[in-house]
Amino acid sequence: MSIRARRNTGLTNVDMQTLSCYLGLVGIGWMMIVATTSKGASFTDFSPTAIKQGAFIGLSFFLIIVISFIEWKFWRTVSYVVYALSILSLITVLFFGKKISGATSWFSIGGFSLQPSEFAKFGTCLAMASYLSSYNTNLKEFKSQIVAFTLFIIPIGLILLQPDAGSAIVFTSFMILFYREGLSANLYIVGFTIAALFIISLMYEPYYVILGFITIGSAIFIYNIKNERKKWVIGFVVLIAATIAGLYFFHSYYREIFALNFLLLPVLSFLLWRNGKKKIVSLLLPLLIFGGLFAYGANFAFNNVLKPHQQSRINVWLNPDKADKDAVYNLRQSQLAIGSGGLDGKGFLQGVRTKYNYVPENSTDFIFCTIGEEQGFVGVFGIIILYLLFLYRITVLAERQRSDFSRCYAYGVAGILFLHFFINIGMTMGLVMIIGIPLPFISYGGSSLLAFSLMIGVLLKLDSNRFSI
């Protein structure tokens, strides 16, 4: 047996670039927690929060060292057991958990709190990798798709019962893994289209959305009419111009304008059908009807199904003028804190808006504001580059694996990390809805740090033994 094919124990053959990214993010995170929670101007003026996070960092490092001495095959062997235990913990927390910030998501043990949903990500990642790497699994088959989707829908459902929508959304990151393993791209196109339609339906009144569909449908129909196309084009342009003018100057007549456009569609459908373009009509017309019904359904669900605080979060993102003033205030403070840092920031421990709690949850969900205020654009850019480099290294590790299990596990970790990174940074700047999830390795929180360290530790262990396959 060659030297490269021998089993590696301990920290031998570890990918140092990936490990360095991990250590860099953890170190930066601890410094930002010190900056956020310390009221003094001295670096040594540690708060209890910073000391507690330091203890979790030490525990995380110890955990990675322990993992490095565990046989790498062990993780596939126990994958379903770990998944079952994580599901059991999600069920148990509903009955015996501690309620914090309106969600029963925590076990309180002594002076510490443990969030099982963070570790459920690791358990689901192991189970998903084990299932997808099985010889009889093929994501092009409906049976395999059902099982794979069920594996992450179960924890989503249990977490929503807590309720914790932010943690639940993270589990959709496994769609990235599914795409890599062969799930049809058509499903993603349909999914993104429905998501975009849902967002548009919440931003505008349903009749505006339907009017847009009618306009697009009419344009497609007119393009396909061969006889006297120019006349129809001219008439269509005049109608659209009249519609825009009517909506802008005469808001009270929108129903009449809507009806006028609506009557145009069946006329064009008849002409197109008569010209032999039956396939276009039979395909496009049902889609337009579905789009209209979906727009009304989304609007109805928003106003009658969602709770007030959920409506407020969506309005802060899509319709700030309709949102609760306190919720908008929090976002504005977040944006002001990031913007106030300028190019190179105010300096370490010199932040004002984050240190003195102008920004909510400034050591957890909104810790990115501290980076923006104290380190400025340079610091923000550096953190984003470091995360992207980390994600790149994980995908490199994934693609060089000889084991299907290791590859699937690595992509599962990359997806979870990416969604956390994207949503957390996006919500602090108002680019995505505020749903409250931590910034990996940087936000304060022992459960999050331990769970992510566990995922990275196992990944490094699997990669270090990739030649053993």
DSSP string, 401-441: -SSHHHHHHHHHHHHHHHHHHHHHHHHHTTSS-------TT
The arithmetic mean of pLDDT across residues 72-88, rounded, is: 94
CA distance 416 to 339: 28
Same domain, 337 and 449: yes
Q: 231 and 131 in one domain?
A: no
Q: Are 331 and 429 in contact (CB under 8 A)?
A: no
Considering the domain boundaries, does residue 11 fall inside one? no
Pair (225, 370) in one structural domain: no
Q: Does some domain include residue 312?
A: no
Q: How many domains does the chain have?
A: 2
The answer as to whether 140 is a domain residue is: yes
**Does residue 125 belong to any structural domain of this protein?**
yes
Q: Does residue 117 fall inside a structural domain? A: yes
Does residue 334 sit in the same domain as residue 253?
Answer: no
C-alpha distances in angstroms, 273 versus 237, 284, 330?
A: 22, 12, 54
Paired residues of 103 in beta bridges: 100
Question: Are residues 351 and 418 part of one domain?
Answer: yes
Structure confidence by residue, pLDDT tens digits, 148-199: 999 999 999 999 998 888 899 999 999 999 999 989 888 898 888 888 888 8
Q: Sheet containing 98-100: which strands, arranged edge to edge?
A: 98-100, 103-109, 112-114
- Pair (142, 247) in one structural domain: no
- Do 178 and 34 belong to one domain? yes
Residue 456 makes CB contacts below 8 A (sequence gap 6+) with: 18, 22, 64, 413
pLDDT, residue 329, reads 81
- How much is the pTM? 0.85
pLDDT at 126: 96
Query: What is the C-alpha to C-alpha distance for residues 60 and 62, in angstroms, rounded to an integer?
Result: 5
Q: How far is the CA of 266 from the CAs of 16, 105, 234, 290, 393, in angstroms?
A: 65, 53, 18, 16, 55
One domain, residues 237 and 291: yes
Query: Is residue 211 included in any domain, yes or no?
Result: yes
Last-in-domain residue among 266, 282, 305: 305
**Same domain, yes or no: 324 and 300:** no
Residue 372 is part of which domain span? 16-183+319-468
Q: What would the two tokens of residue 56 be?
A: 């979790």
Structure tokens at 184: 């049809």
In a domain, 188, yes or no: no
What does the pLDDT read at residue 3?
42
Asked if residue 149 and residue 30 are part of one domain, the reply reads yes
pLDDT tens-place string over residues 19-51: 999 999 999 999 999 888 876 555 566 788 888
Residue ranges in 276-361 assigned as alpha helix (H): 278-304, 308-318, 325-340
Are 317 and 430 in contact by the 8 Å Cβ rule? The answer is yes
Is there a single domain that holds both residue 49 and residue 93?
Answer: yes
- Is the domain of 436 the same as that of 335? yes
Residue 168 lies inside a defined structural domain of this protein: yes
Q: Residue 111: exposed, middle, or buried by beta-carbon count in 10 A (0-12, 13-18, 19+)?
A: exposed
